[in-house]
Structures are given as C-alpha cells and as structure tokens.
Amino acid sequence: MNVVVVGIGYVGLSNAVLFSKKHNVILCDVNVDKVEAINKGISPFRDDLIEKFLSENPNVIAATTDPTDAYCEADFVIVAVNTDYDESLGGFNTTNLDSVIADVNKVNPKAILIVRSTVPVGYTQAIKNKLNLTNIVFCPEFLREGRALYDSLNPSRIIVGGSKDIAKSVMDLFCDCIDIKDSATFYMSLDEAESVKLFSNAYLAMRIGFFNELHSYALSKGFNAKNIIKGVSADHRIGNYYNNPSFGYGGYCLPKDTKQLISNFEDIPNNILSSIPKSNITRRRFVVDWIKKNKARKIGIYRLIAKKDSDNFRNSIMIDIVKDLENEEKVQVSIYEPLLNESIWEKVGLEKDFKNFVKSCDLIITNRLDSTIQNLDGKKIFTADLFATDL
C-alpha cells in the first residue's frame, strides 16, 4: 500500500515510521527544514525511538514539500496537521486541515482520508458533507510528546470513526503493523470518535488539576503530600498513575483540547469541565505566591520545556510563571535552559553554565526533577515533583 502522511509533527512522523514497516510511506510538510531533516535521516524533534529509527533506516521514508504526486498514488492519506485553538474563533482553527482535505479530494478522490488532527466535534461529518466525501474517517491519537513512536507501536486502543466498510480498511491498516487485541479496537461514528479524543484529554487535565489541588492543600497545611497521594492512589478505582503533582498542565494538547470541548458544550450544563482551566490558573497563582513568600532575592528557573524529555515550550506553565515573576520588585530572575540561545524577556537573564546558575540563585524553581538537578540540596529547590515522572 502507498501511505502519505501530511504533517511532520510527532503524530505524523511516528505514524510514518509505524506504517513504513510494511508499506511505502511519503511524508509531506510545508516546512522545508523538516523535510530536509527527514531526507537526511534526522528527526526534527526529540524522540529517542524515532531518532534511532531514522539514523538506522535513513532511506525508508521520503519527505517532500510538494505532495501532489504523492497524493496521486496514495491508497491512504493520513492528515496530522496542527489545529491550534483560536481565541477569536472560540475553537480550533482548521484552515490548514480544510486545505489538505480539499487538495487530496481534488487530486485523488479514491484515496482513503484518515484525519488524525484533533478537531471540534462535528468537524469531519461537516467537511464530508461539504465536499461530498465517501472515503474519510476520524482516527484519534493518544500519543505522548517524547514517546510518540513508543505509543504508536504500543497503543492503548485504536478508535476509528466513520462508515463501517471504510473504517474496517483503516483498522486493518493499523492492525497489520501493530499487535493489538480485538478488545482494544473500537468502531463508532465520526462525532463519537472526535468526542473520545476531547474527553480523554479533558479528563487527563482534570486529573492533573485534582492532584495539584491536593498538593496545594498539603503544602498549606504542612502535610506530606506524597503520603496522601500514595494512600489515595492505592484504591484501584483511582489508580497509582498519572498522579504526580506539577505547577500546572501545559504543552500543546491539554490546554487547547479542554477549551475546545467546553466550547462544544455550548448551552449544555456543565460545572466540572468549565472549572478545569480555572483550576490550572489558580494553581499557577498559588505556586507564584508560594515562591514570593519564600522571600528569595535571586530566583532561578530550571528549564522552560512543557514537560520532561520534551524539546519545546508550547504553552509551558514555566513560561507563565516567569511572566508572573519578571516584574516583581526586589526579585532577580534567571533561567537555565540549554535549548535557548538568549533570554526572551528583557528583565530575565539566561545562564548557560549550570554550576554558575546554581551558585547565583537563592532558590531554584523546577516543574520536573531530572538527573541534573535532583541531587542538589533540596532546601534550595522548590518543585511539586514528588515521583520524578510525567506519567
């Protein structure tokens, strides 16, 4: 089979690697740098398994900025372009996705379109009706940044939304490359599959918020939050996972997907969902207030990345904390972030030498502990990371 993947992000690239096991794969993207990197066998972002695969198999996947020829020969086209949340629209901006779907339909209407971009509920059915498409499904992804290929090879479930005959072809495509039990494969409508994606991420954001509020409570009362979390999580109905406190959720998916789901609710009554973003803001403010109470004059920010083992700062809670602190009087803020060449704030310094960074700070703030920092004097570090994991 000929598989075309549109979008060289962690979703698109991990899918390309997955299907290259048994099929001919071409990656498409408008970003010239990403395309050139793929054609040189280099991953444009950090993911250990993807980097290993590309270095060992440099010619297995081709990439191009001109997808027209690829579309002509495609049996399947997987669309994994960004759908950023646009505050002015009150929902996802699907302009790029609209364009890709229209182009594929124009060039090769027989190709089966697999939408993996996250979309508002009702989007796929609407564009199916608008363009009179017959070969389109929605297949949500549940990948973690930094572990995208691992999660692609070991999915918790595969969900395909769409007409049963087309959905069956897509499910067969996945199952041909993945060893997965039938009980972990689900067929449903387009709207239902889109709902699964948004509700899944909203739940994860809610769970993060819950354990963050537990941590705020324990910190305020002088209790051992780790003991409380272990005791709570021992109940199998709650589970001892995804329970490590942080300064707040961030990254690309959780903030925007939660907002989109709230938008989709429209006039439907809800209290829990609408409180999730508010809880995240409250948590960040609590953290900043706690830092201020410490009365440290020289505050160090260790890493700006959105999560451990990531290499991007999209919607990072640490950036929001820096913004909250940068104009504080009598406080000097510096950052240690190896991925930055210069500070992005006028009043905030960037220290490239880790030893100098530690020496110059009265208090170091870190959202997540890693091997570089976790052996330092704990009295000098403020973190909510109790279990040294993002899981």
Which residues are part of a known binding site for substrate? 142-145, 197, 242-246, 250, 307
* Adjacency order of strands within the sheet including 381-382: 348-350, 332-336, 298-302, 363-365, 381-382
Which residues participate in the annotated binding site for NAD(+)? 29, 34, 83, 118, 145, 256, 314
Q: How far apart are the two ends of the chain, measured CA to CA in Å?
A: 35
Q: Is 361 a catalytic residue?
A: no
Distance, in Å, from the CA atom of 185 to the CA atom of 207, rounded to the nearest integer, reads 25
Q: Which residue has the tokens 């990403």?
A: 34
Distance, in Å, from the CA atom of 224 to the CA atom of 218, rounded to the nearest integer, reads 6
Token digits of residue 74? 């495609």
3-state secondary structure of 137: strand
176-183 CB contacts, 8 Å cutoff, 24+ apart: 176/22, 177/18, 177/19, 177/21, 177/22, 177/23, 178/18, 178/153, 180/155
Residue 368 CB neighbours (<10 A): 24
Which listed residue (28, 139, 177, 253) is catalytic? 253
HSE-up (13 A, CA, CB side) for residue 391? 7
**Which contiguous run of DSSP H or E holds residue 274?**
helix 272-294
259-277: buried (b, 16+ CB within 10 Å) or exposed (e) per residue? Answer: bbbbbbeeeeeeeebeebb
Name the residues annotated as catalytic: 253
